[in-house]
Structure 1
């Protein structure tokens, strides 16, 4: 083989190795957004494939006049858009992920136990938009009400009662009040069809009969990402591979 041919072969092999190395080093980050009364511990039983780097979106108390889109835009500043990334959101986190889908360009978006538009809300949510009694209720009362209602709407919380109680106890009452207003006044009517929706058939907060889901989990409650972590992990990993 001539010297020139050897040089061409050498550069071809070197280029192939370089491309493979770059592809192997490529980071795919999955950003996790918790629910309104939760934090990063909500995802403690979610096991993603080792190919993904996991990062948690941290909540802060939004300004009084912020709507869902504004809050999503501010939280999205925590996302590194220079790398490949996907977003997973539960409940309020799923609504925020829905808004981020229009603002950003995530590879995958998965919402769990959530709504992708106000059309997926039950009637009591729409009633409170027309007659906004929640605006008259102070934040501490909303937090107290959540503590009382949690055992009712989350019947399987007994599987990890300490985590449920601790997450809610650590919530700022003003955060709960402002995000409640944000949810009840959400104007979104449509959503990006790339979003994949996982819902539980026992979800009492957002009943499945109002929701256009892609996966319905048998015996799944509103917080099934915590209480049914193994099953949800399997579904999520399969979606990520598609």
Structure 2
């Protein structure tokens, strides 16, 4: 039996995985949720606290977007059977120019996280969702803490991983507006896959994840 732990994207709940169904005789799914960071908490400290929720040895870790960064950091601290990344980056070299620019100038610190009660602001920043699609995804965003968002934005922008971890499986859409495909290397490309393809292209994942995990 493979124990598969799934980490959602920034500010999202594990509901983004609600349509992911793997054969129950081979896989057990475990859903991770965001916790509120301590003041000025390091990424390693935060990940160490999250790892208390991972109770099986050599798990399969799957992370979406910022959750993909989190599971990569987990894999630095524990042995994993497989590390699968979706709609994310394998190093800061895959960041789009705007993120690298923000890192140099600290522009991300200007983002009004105190206004997170406005779903329009949060959803667009987290998912790159067009306004007409906001209602579709509203239920998936669950963390509206400015403490968390300030920490998350700063942690993403300042992520210091410069080289990909070995053996990573990276799945990425060629229509991702958050992490454009032109900056991404060595991945399985999903045609017309957007940043939220874990939600709206779940059939692809249900069909292919078992083979990717067991390969």
Please confirm whether the aligned pair reaches a TM-score higher than 0.5, indicating the same fold: yes
**Is residue 2:129 matched to residue 1:154?**
yes
Q: CA deviation at 1:234?
A: 1.6
Q: CA RMSD in A?
A: 2.2
Q: CA deviation at 1:148?
A: 4.8
Residues 120 and 175 (structure 1), Cα distance of their counterparts in 2 relative to 1, 3 Å cut: same
Residues 99 and 241 (structure 1), Cα distance of their counterparts in 2 relative to 1, 3 Å cut: same
TM-score, normalised via structure 1 length? 0.80
Report the structure, 1 or 2, having the larger helix content.
1
Q: CA deviation at 1:104?
A: 0.9
Secondary structure of the residue aligned to 2:172 is strand
TM-score, normalised via structure 2 length? 0.89
Contact 2:88 2:179 in 1 (8 A): yes
Which of 149, 157, 163 is the equivalent residue of 1:176?
Answer: 149
Contact 1:115 1:121 in 2 (8 A): yes
Residues 69 and 120 (structure 1), Cα distance of their counterparts in 2 relative to 1, 3 Å cut: farther
**Is residue 2:4 matched to residue 1:30?**
yes
Q: Give 4+ residue runs of structure 1 displaced > 6 Å after superposition.
A: none
Counterparts of 1:1-242 in structure 2 under 5 Å? 27-50=1-24, 51-81=26-56, 83-141=57-115, 144=118, 145-148=121-124, 153-155=128-130, 158=133, 161-162=134-135, 164-168=137-141, 170-242=143-215
Secondary structure of the residue aligned to 2:59 is strand
Counterparts of 1:141 and 1:124 in 2: how far apart (Å)? Answer: 22
Contact 2:51 2:74 in 1 (8 A): yes
Rg larger in 1 or in 2?
A: 1
Gaps of at least 5 residues in structure 2 are none
**Alpha-carbon displacement from aligned partner over 1:102-142 (angstroms, at most 9, x marks no partner):** 11111011000001111110011111111113324442236
Secondary structure of the residue aligned to 2:141 is helix
Secondary structure of the residue aligned to 1:103 is coil
Equivalent residue number for residue 13 of structure 1? none
Gaps of at least 5 residues in structure 1 are 1-26
Residues 212 and 86 (structure 1), Cα distance of their counterparts in 2 relative to 1, 3 Å cut: same
